[in-house]
Amino acid sequence: MNITVFNGSPRINGNTDIILQEVLKALDEKIHTVNVFRLNNMNIKPCQDCGGCDDTGQCVIEDDMDIIYKAIREADRVVLASPIFFSALSAQTKIMIDRCQSLWCEKYLLKKQIPPGRFGRKGLILLVGGMKKDTGIKCGEESGRAFFRSIGIPTHETLGFTGVDKKGAILEHPTALRDVYDATRRLINDE
């Protein structure tokens, strides 16, 4: 399978990085092709709402999204991982998602679907927030859901971890690493 992983955290060795290590552990890279995108390091301009994709489903901006569009089209599985910033996905994550408006146009205006391939297409959303309240997790999950549906991913699972703030605090969570590992195994095994 082709597996595309988005890391929306700017913090190196932070909580999102740590749970994504569990994702990679659960994926056998000898069997699967895994592409991890650290969005913070990429050159991605925000959507300009120019309408340039309305009739074509193709974004007119040329930047690192070109590689991401290709990875999204070829993916059998997509993992979207983000910290919660101000009750939402990180800006790094959201900028990438907004640029998928072109794929939204392709699906909903041009009525074209990304072909599901022999494994179908499924997603996993992983969210980490410092606060105990899950408001940000709920908001992030809604954006992630809209993203997945727009890129032709009809089903996904979401894991949200609250009260995880300091760098590395996820290591003290009683179940997080195991939960992420198990969810990743389900992502690739439940076809």
Ligand X SMILES: Cc1cc2nc3c(=O)[nH]c(=O)nc-3n(C[C@H](O)[C@H](O)[C@H](O)COP(=O)(O)O)c2cc1C
Nearer residue to ligand X within complex by CB, 15 or 102: 15
Nearest approach, Cβ of residue 72 and ligand X (Å): 22
Q: Which is nearer to ligand X, 52 or 163 (CB)?
A: 163
Residue 165 CB, nearest distance to ligand X (Å)? 4
Of 140, 119, 129, nearest to 77 by C-alpha is: 119
**Closest approach of Cβ 153 to ligand X, in Å?**
23
- Using DSSP's 3-state secondary structure scheme, residue 175 falls into coil
Q: Which residues contact 184 (CB under 8 A, 6 or more apart)?
A: 22, 23, 26, 27, 79, 124
Which pair of structure tokens corresponds to residue 110?
Answer: 């041009």
**Cβ at position 94, least distance to ligand X in Å:** 13
Indicate the residue among 9 and 158 with the shorter CB distance to ligand X: 9
- DSSP-based three-state secondary structure for 176: helix
AA letter at 20: L
Binding site for ligand X (CB under 6 A): 9, 11, 14-16, 83-87, 128-131, 136, 164-165, 167
Q: Determine the residue with CB nearest ligand X.
A: 14
Contact assessment for residue 100 and residue 93, using Cβ atoms and an 8 Å cutoff = no
Q: How far apart are CA 165 and CA 128, in angstroms?
A: 8
Nearer to ligand X, 85 or 104 (CB): 85
